[in-house]
Amino acid sequence: MNIKFKKLNKTIVKCKKCPRLTNFIKKISLEKRKQNFNEKYWGKPVTGFGDVNARLMIIGLAPAAHGGTRTGRAFTGDKSGNFLFKSLFSVKISNQAFSENKDDGLKLKSTYITNILKCVPPGDKPMNKELSQCSNYFIKEIDYLKKNKSDCNTR
């Protein structure tokens, strides 16, 4: 991952611009599901991941409460991720058919995965202000991916 993405990801992880979302993440991290009771939750905004020279971008609305908010990686550790990574593996875009945590060895081929919102909203219903504030991060991701792609094409 290049320096621009690393800096952006640090900013995202530290973000507390939306108090409702920040408080909801804390609540989720404390009120764990029974099956995840002994796990330490990520409990912070979730960044995008994958190949910064991607030709394919997969976009979700927000991290799942007990998926990305728990694991720290989009589409990881939840049912939607199970379906997604099984599908990506079947078409040889990922090196494995599952994603359980950030350190599980998952690699993506020419693909970048992110969410528009970096925090899970209560009831999966973001407010317009939250979407507006968080979409700035999403727009930067798109911009950085485009610049990386054009940099690669000029080399």
Report pLDDT digits (tens) over 114-137. 999 999 999 999 999 999 999 999
pLDDT category of residue 99 using cuts at 50, 70 and 90 = very high
Domains and CATH numbers, the chain: 3-14+43-154 (3.40.470.10)
Buried b (16+ CB within 10 A) or exposed e, 117-126: bbbbbeeeeb
Instruction: Flag whether pLDDT at 155 surpasses 50.
Output: no
Residue 75's contacts (CB-CB under 8 Å, 6 or more residues apart) are: 58, 60, 64, 67, 68, 81, 84, 85, 99, 113
pLDDT category of residue 2 using cuts at 50, 70 and 90 = confident
Instruction: Flag whether pLDDT at 153 surpasses 60.
Output: no
Secondary structure (DSSP) of 99-126: --STTS---BSSEEEEESSSSPPGGG--
Separation between Cα atoms, residue 140 and residue 145, nearest integer Å: 8
pLDDT category of residue 149 using cuts at 50, 70 and 90 = low
**pTM, full prediction:** 0.92
Separation between Cα atoms, residue 55 and residue 149, nearest integer Å: 8
Q: Environment class of residue 98 by beta-carbon count within 10 Å: exposed (0-12), middle (13-18) or buried (19+)?
A: middle
Report pLDDT digits (tens) over 8-45. 999 999 999 999 999 999 999 999 999 999 999 999 99
Cα–Cα nearest to 75, from 150, 141, 67, 128: 67
Instruction: Flag whether pLDDT at 51 surpasses 90.
Output: yes
Cα–Cα nearest to 122, from 42, 20, 30, 33: 20
Report pLDDT digits (tens) over 58-88. 999 999 999 999 999 999 999 999 999 999 9
Pairing of strands 111-115, 49-50: antiparallel
Query: What strands lie across the sheet with 49-50, from one edge to the other?
Result: 49-50, 111-115, 56-60
Alpha-helical runs (H) found in 31-106: 68-71, 79-90
